[in-house]
A and B are shown apart, each in its own frame.
Chain A
Amino acid sequence: MLSLSMPLLAHGDLSMRIAEKTIAISEDPDNSELYYERGLLYQQHMEYDNALEDYLKSQSMGNSNKALYYQIAEVHFLTKAYQEALQSINSYLELDSMDLSAKKLQAQIHFNLKSYKKSLEGYRTVILNMKDIRPEDVLEYCNIILAENNKNYKAALKAIEYGLDQLGPHTISLQLKKLDYLKDAGLTEKALEQYNYFILEYSRNEFWYFKKAKYLVEIHKPHEAFISLKMATVAVEQLDTKFKNMGPVIELKEQIKSLESSLNNQKS
């Protein structure tokens, strides 16, 4: 007899629902839908082997629902069986070529198979057609762009701008990535402008002055770095006491001191 008691505390409701579904299967063993439904529960419970077993069982019993192909592809993807994942998502897309979630999964599978051109092409379709993209989508797209050509910062920055246009000009994760790309591409003036953007945009800017100073040191502008460090010091001084006593600010003060001392040593 199936015991309901043991796994309950692991994932609460989910474990209970798996157990209930198992009982339902035992009462109606020829119902392919029940295996599919239990597979979904197993997948949520991160029991991927069990999920896949149920999906395949459901398929072997005649379930040809396109959603099943998607789930099989997703479980293969999660378990890094990318070839199998690709096969299944392709079957799904044969039934529904316009589904953007499936296109996205296909692009992610291609990426992991290092088929970067195909991945890029697919993800571009997703980015341009998805109604509500997220910052994460734009960042993933940029990642694929640079995997396909690790010098193509121009395209990556263009994708960031597209994201900012879609999601709002101050979307922080995109602005942060823009800074990374400008620095990596050696576009120093634009990178400095980007640091200034953060300094001007945010109400607390002590961290940004310091980060800018560090970058100025990296690009051999010690005097500008020195001025930025002074700005950082003043910004810290102007904070309320409660913020001055927070760990990250205490650490920042030490970092400012250290960089200042290193700059002074360079001078002398």
Chain B
Amino acid sequence: MSESSGKSRWGERVLNGYVFLMTLVLAFPLLVVGLISFDTAEYINFPPSGFSLKWYRSVVENPTFMLSLGNSLIVALASTACALLIGVPASLVIARGRFPGRDLLYALCLSSLTVPWIVYGVSLLFLWAVLGFNLSIMTLIFGHTVIGTPYVLRTSVAVLADMPPVYEHAARSLGASPLRAFWTVTLPLMAVGIRAGAAFAFIVSIVNIPISLFVTTAENITMPVAVFNYMQYNFDPSVAAFSIIQMIIIAFFIVFAVRAARSGGVS
């Protein structure tokens, strides 16, 4: 008895040690990016040779970077909004409704999650070429909406599938019209799924490179594409500084989404 529990305690220690080490390995590449972004050296070098904010200044002073930052925020917010407006209502009929082709539609939406982004980039480029549309911020928003909506749909359907329709029945029996029952009961109870879907849609937009690369123009360039282009030819700590700025924006949005959903009454 004592021997076996002693052994299992050893096994536990080894496992804990491994997880600690692995967590460090996962976190370290991100920590060094933060470290290097404050370096004084002109090229990437470890350990850093000093502390300065000059790379952050160079990001702020780089017109392409600042243009791309604004574009990325517009595209990410607009495509997330579109994904929510399209995905949430669709989740209601897919989770609750009965119509021919429902399963096919849902399978089609989920299958799109498996297709690599570069395939979207190529095929959407062909779409706009065939339709004769010029590439603009609209084609960019459209592309990001296409990949973001299935995430919203999936998380919303998952919440609805776990939520018995009895809540809606209760609301209706108490005098709420279908629309008011949705607004006062269903939607607040879906908040968890909508929030997760919105976070996914925002992230896949703001980090996307392969699609944006194909359906964007120089004046509509997004943040990750600008960094990507820069990184192909330059390798200095300004990329690190810009990556940190991007990370802060994403973290801010996710925390904001969580807060907004909490204040909506669902914990």
A, B: real partners? no
B residues near A (Cβ < 8 Å) are: none
